[in-house]
Structure 1
Amino acid sequence: MLRARLYWNLHKKCWSVQDCKTGRVVRHVTAFTLADAKFVVRPAGQAKVRREGKKNVHAFAVGDASLRNGLAGLDARDVTYNPYVNDTFVYKDTGEPVTEAHVITVWTNTDGKPVVKASNLGHSN
């Protein structure tokens, strides 16, 4: 199974899937699912964004590429991250930090914006 890093590609307006072993981007997708995933924000990259006002890849999800066909589960909640406001990824409805999820499903909506859903059925968070 591929251990992957997944991030929103600002230039291509899609999701980049990076192989954690090689560090190479293996594909660009409009939807993807990770299992047993963690949300990561690198503090130095975040500080640079805040200092310079230019975004860079410093926040992403890491997990196992899943064959679950984009199904995050019935308990899936919207997740967001704003480097100018949040120090971590947060649940959109409560602002509560989220660091891991049983399943993360991402896609690009019809407006070309990223959507992130996290499900914790069978996983504590």
Structure 2
Amino acid sequence: MRRNTEILALEEGQTILIAYHLYKRCFSIRNANTRKVIGYTDRIVICNVRFLVSLSGRERVLRENKKNVHAYVKGEYAELQNISIDDGDVRQAYYNPYFTPAFVDRITIEPIQCADMAICEDGKVFYRVL
């Protein structure tokens, strides 16, 4: 089933946290202030992005060998939902707690802390730094 952000109460510029939901196979969207899930989507675009990984959450994954939600892409909701990953210099971000301590560039494996824009789609995160 295709999920859509149109049914969510998102406003332009609203700060949100995006995490991949392993069981639903889509992205969960959380209000950054309350950290409560406000919806799910297959695709979303955010601006002024920060890539966040909780060190204690990652350590728990490594200790228990069981995944938990501890990594987020944080940013401001953008109504620019028609932007494509083929537009401009877009790169893929990657995070796997068993292999990397933080989000990294998929090709260079260099850590990523922030970006101007991120497109979350098809279970992957793409980013662009202007």
Unmatched 5+ residue regions in structure 1? 109-113
Contact 1:14–1:28 (Cα < 8 Å) also in 2: yes
Aligned equivalent of 1:86? 100
Aligned: 1:95 with 2:109: yes
Unmatched 5+ residue regions in structure 2? 1-12
Q: Percent same amino acid among aligned pairs? A: 28
User: Which amino acid in the other structure matches residue 96 of structure 1?
Assistant: E
CA 1:70–1:56: 2 relative to 1, 3 Å: farther
TM-score, scaled relative to structure 2? 0.85
Aligned: 1:76 with 2:85: no
Structure 1 Cα separation of the partners of residues 36 and 74 of structure 2: 14
Structure 1 stretches of 4+ with a deviation exceeding 6 A read none
Further displaced range: 94-103 or 22-31 = 22-31
Alignment length (residue pairs):
116
Structure 1 Cα separation of the partners of residues 73 and 81 of structure 2: 17
Aligned equivalent of 1:117? 126
TM-score, scaled relative to structure 1? 0.89
- RMSD value over aligned CA atoms? 1.1
CA 1:76–1:30: 2 relative to 1, 3 Å: same
Q: What is the SS of the residue equivalent to 1:48? A: helix
Contact 1:70–1:105 (Cα < 8 Å) also in 2: no
User: Which amino acid in the other structure matches residue 16 of structure 1?
Assistant: S
